[in-house]
Structure 1
Amino acid sequence: MDHNVYLLATDPKNPCRDIIHSRDTRLKVRVFCLAEERFSADPNEIQLFGYVNGKLYAFETINIAADDALDVVSAIQWYADYMDEPDMEILPEDPRPGENIAM
């Protein structure tokens, strides 16, 4: 079984603005630290959330292609391992009260 290789682009001016890139596909996932910045979900992208050690993260794809959708969770798991937080809980919805109101 092949495994994707992921790379990380960081913003030196904002330590909470990482972008996970798949080396082998077109998948890109933007990381948001929700305690430090606002997050507005793009309805055309996939959003997942990660919770670990009292910190909540949002993960949002960038120009998602249908072929890459199944790799989003593995990219987030790779990021959790990169952060040395392999027990990060990956959530399908924003767990903050009032953030999951349907539009």
Structure 2
Amino acid sequence: MDHNVYLLATDPKNPCRDVIHSRDTRLKVRVYCLDEEQFRPDDDEVQLYGYANSKLFAFETIDIVAEDAIDLVGAIKWYASYIQCPNMEILPEDPRQGRNNIAM
């Protein structure tokens, strides 16, 4: 799906707690600012990571289904562009030392 439309739900009390929604699929992705909050990966979900503006983000699916997994990278790229960091490198593992959780 090359032209998915994404929506962003934000928490006015926590600027680091965004949720990306795909309008065209059931994909939902929770965004975590790892420099500012604790994150425990859910073994039943998919996690990817990325640096933007010197901050490390974790992206974790919410109730992932197989057909929506292919849309995950597109959703993260959209978010990176939204936060004005379109060149964000998307990482499959947590790059922090001692935290090599495999994301797939």
Q: TM-score range by the shorter chain?
A: over 0.9
Q: Which residue of structure 2 aligns with residue 35 of structure 1? A: 35
**Following TM superposition, where does structure 1 have runs of at least 4 consecutive aligned residues deviating by more than 2 angstroms?**
none
Distance change (3 Å), C-alpha of 1:57 and 1:101: closer
Structure 2 alignment gaps of length 5 or more: none
The number of residues matched between the two structures is 102
Q: Which residue of structure 1 aligns with residue 6 of structure 2? A: 6
Q: Which residue of structure 2 aligns with residue 66 of structure 1? A: 66
Q: Which residue of structure 2 aligns with residue 19 of structure 1? A: 19
Displacement after TM superposition at 1:94 (Å): 0.2
Report the TM-score, using the length of structure 2 for normalisation.
0.94
Structure 1 alignment gaps of length 5 or more: none
Separation (CA, whole Å) in 1 of partners of 2:59 and 2:99:
15
Displacement after TM superposition at 1:69 (Å): 0.3
Q: Does residue 78 of structure 1 match 2:78?
A: yes
Report the TM-score, using the length of structure 1 for normalisation.
0.94
Separation (CA, whole Å) in 1 of partners of 2:30 and 2:3:
20
Distance change (3 Å), C-alpha of 1:72 and 1:98: same
Displacement after TM superposition at 1:2 (Å): 4.4
CA RMSD of aligned residues (A): 1.3
Displacement after TM superposition at 1:3 (Å): 1.1
